[in-house]
Amino acid sequence: MGSRSPPYPIEGVRTSPYPVDGVRTSPYPIDGFLALGDWGGVPDPPFVTPREVATAAAMGRAAEELGADFVLALGDNFYYDGVRDEWDPRFQDTFERTFTAPGLRSLPWFVLAGNHDHNGNVSAQIAYGQRSPRWHFPHPYYSLRLSLPGTNSSARLLLLDTVLLCGGTDDFTSGPVNGPGPGPGPGAAPTASAQLRWLQRRLSAAAGDRFVLVAGHYPLWSAGEHGPSECLYRSLRPLLRRNRVTMYLSGHDHNLQFLWEGGVGYVVSGAGNFMEGSKRHGGDLPPGSLRFFYGAPSSPGGFVHVRLEPEAATVTYLEATGRILHREVLPPRGV
């Protein structure tokens, strides 16, 4: 696959055909999208898992039946140590040759990094967008402006790098809350502060948007093996609540969850490659916040479909069998 010249720059790093932070005056029209986390195969042949293959096929069917304009990739894109460079064969083996269902072939992927990606070369994942028309990863954190077709309503999707915010963590390794700890390691604080300042500016700019969605790899709330993040609780939760964010989407825990706390919906979609049924941190959640949890070890995987309409944002959880597991309907901001 040859190199291509992207249409225009995003955040001053590289380019994308989608409107980010004032690059284009008219937002990109969207009906819905698919959200998938922790999907990144394995480092040995065949470089995929049966769950990833089954989930990829089911996503293709869902894109055709429910409608989808893009895929939101929620991190841990390549297990266990990311990629070496932009020519790493894992891009082909784990991504390009796996997500080949007709319903997915024309969809752009908007990508963010997880902790396993940071074990390798995240800059290479960003550079790969120059080589693939499907892969859009312009910057460690970036913003998409969206419009709801046939209306004057707009929405915004803000993608974060929670590893740069909170530091790295190995799966199944406990921190202070069995997840990302109090904050980044020495020397990383300026990077985290810059990202939070950027997020506050983007949230302020989104004051008139009907829906605002924020995405990152680490969950803020989770009943699963990793549990809630103390770092995100302190740094991100006040911003989500104060700016009336519609939902925060994440992965990291290898299951499907929906939580509601403080007027914000929390979507965990980390079932693209592994499935874990542990509710180890169920007792660490605000009472009544966990509305849905699915992590059956026998499951072939799962993902989320999000539909944005003027009157509601609908979150549908699907198993790779095609079975609808759960559905939540969230109101527009201020309603």
Let me know if 24 is exposed, middle or buried by CB neighbors in 10 A (0-12, 13-18, 19+).
middle
Known binding site for Fe cation: residues?
Answer: 38, 76, 79, 115, 217, 252, 254
β-pair partners for 299: none
Give me 114's structure tokens: 């997880």
What per-residue confidence (pLDDT) applies to 14?
A: 39
Amino acid at 27: P
- How far is it, in rounded angstroms, from Cα 332 to Cα 312? 6
Amino acid at 301: G
Known binding site: residues?
Answer: 38, 76, 79, 115, 217, 252, 254
What per-residue confidence (pLDDT) applies to 168?
A: 79
Running along the chain, 335 residues long, what does each successive block of 10 average in pLDDT? 32 45 58 96 97 98 97 98 98 98 96 97 97 97 92 94 86 37 50 95 96 98 96 96 98 98 98 97 97 98 97 97 98 84
Cross-sheet strand order for the sheet of 211-215: 28-29, 142-147, 154-159, 211-215, 247-250, 264-269, 256-261, 290-294
What per-residue confidence (pLDDT) applies to 3?
A: 32
- How far is it, in rounded angstroms, from Cα 151 to Cα 31? 11
What per-residue confidence (pLDDT) applies to 30?
A: 85
Stated pTM of the model: 0.90
